[in-house]
Structure formats: structure tokens, C-alpha cells
């Protein structure tokens, strides 16, 4: 366990329980302004944007409905799953392959849910406090939100394709 420090970006809470903070209304308005079709995940914890790819493949990008309050920001993670093997922990080979894929921005990380099931995800963060009260499609921060979603989709789909079936 990490020693508890207050002003760090490390989430001190359980990974399965994001802090209940503000930001849902702002991020929802921001998503509407992007013009992207979005829904809500089964859990209600994320908005979802589904992208169609070749061979009828789909990639779902999740945008956390609630952000983490951090140093004046309201930070929402935008992520997509890249690999899973029935919930088993990634092998060393899979882990090193995924983690070595350095991208322009964003990070790969290992996610473990409440049932101890593992997956590898790719994600970025977005500060919803940067959005104006009434965001419009031409607003730079709206374009940032939209392009972050596109970027996560592109990276996650490429990685999903490359690592499909790896154990």
C-alpha cells in the first residue's frame, strides 16, 4: 500500500468506488455539445460512446459521469478496455507488451473489479471545470473533450486488435 499523502493524484479510495463528486451535469452538457451519440452504462457510472469499426467490431469509450475533485479540477477519466482474458490477471508477457505501448497522451493501466476480475484499459483525464456553463460545439474545450474520446477509441481499438486472444 502507498503511504497516504494528501495532495497527490493517487486515489486513496477503493479502485471500485470513485469519490462522489460534482461534474456530472457539466460533462453531460459537454458531451451533448460534441454532437457524439452517447448513452449511459448499466452501472450509471459512465456515459458511453460506441464506435463502429471494420468487420462489424465495436469499441466502447466510457466517460466517468462524476469527476474526482483535485486541486480545483473536476477530473473525469475517459477510458476503454483493450484486453481481458476471462477476468484472469494478465501474464507478464501481456502486461509488458501493453504497458510498453507509449502513446502521445494517456496511459494503459490494469483494472481489477470488485470480483477480482482483471482487464487492461487505456485512459486519459479531462477536467470538466474547463467547460463553460453553456458549452457549444465550437468551444475549444468541447473540441478537446471530443478529440480525447476519439483518441481513446483509436488507441484502444488498435490495442484490442493487436492483443486479441493473448494470454
Partner 1 sequence: MPIATLIGLVSAFQQTATQEPVTELPPNLMVSIRETNLKFDDIPGFIGFKFKIGSSTRNHTVYIRKKNETYRSLNVHEMFGNVYESKTEPTGDQLLKIFSTRFSYGGLVYEQPSASQPNYRVRFRTVIAGDIATANLRKLLDLCATTADSIEKDLTSKDVF
Residues forming the site for partner 1 (CB under 8 A): 2-3, 5-11, 15, 19, 68, 70-73, 75, 89-92, 95-96, 99-100, 102, 104-112, 123, 125, 140, 143-144, 146-148, 150-151
Residue with smaller CB distance to partner 1, 36 or 55: 36
Residue with smaller CB distance to partner 1, 4 or 165: 4
CB atoms within 10 A of CB 80: 23
Helix/strand/coil for 147:
helix
- Nearest residue to 82 via CA among 47, 102, 110, 63: 110
Cβ contact 76:145 at 8 Å: no
| Nearest distance, CB of residue 19 and partner 1, angstroms | 8
Residue with smaller CB distance to partner 1, 90 or 135: 90
Residue positions counted in the chain = 167
Instruction: Tell me the β-bridge partners of 76.
Output: 126
| Nearest distance, CB of residue 37 and partner 1, angstroms | 18
| Nearest distance, CB of residue 11 and partner 1, angstroms | 4
Separation CA 109–CA 79 (nearest Å): 10
Amino acid at each position: 500500500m502507498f503511504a497516504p499523502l494528501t495532495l497527490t493524484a493517487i486515489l486513496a479510495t477503493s479502485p471500485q468506488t470513485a469519490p462522489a463528486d460534482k461534474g456530472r451535469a457539466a460533462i453531460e452538457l459537454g458531451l451533448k455539445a460534441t454532437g457524439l451519440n452517447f448513452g449511459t452504462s448499466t452501472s450509471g457510472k459512465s456515459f458511453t460512446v460506441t464506435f463502429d469499426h471494420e468487420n462489424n467490431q465495436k469499441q466502447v469509450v466510457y466517460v466517468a459521469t462524476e469527476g474526482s475533485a483535485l486541486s480545483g479540477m473536476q477530473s473525469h477519466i475517459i477510458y476503454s478496455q483493450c484486453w481481458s482474458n476471462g477476468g484472469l490477471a494478465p501474464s507478464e508477457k501481456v502486461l509488458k507488451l501493453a504497458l510498453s505501448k507509449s502513446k502521445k497522451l494517456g496511459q494503459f493501466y490494469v483494472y481489477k473489479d470488485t470480483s477480482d476480475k482483471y482487464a487492461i484499459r487505456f485512459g486519459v483525464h479531462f477536467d470538466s471545470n474547463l467547460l463553460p456553463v453553456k458549452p457549444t460545439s465550437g468551444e475549444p474545450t468541447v473540441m478537446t473533450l471530443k478529440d480525447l474520446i476519439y483518441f481513446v477509441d483509436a488507441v484502444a481499438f488498435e490495442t484490442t486488435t493487436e492483443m486479441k486472444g493473448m494470454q
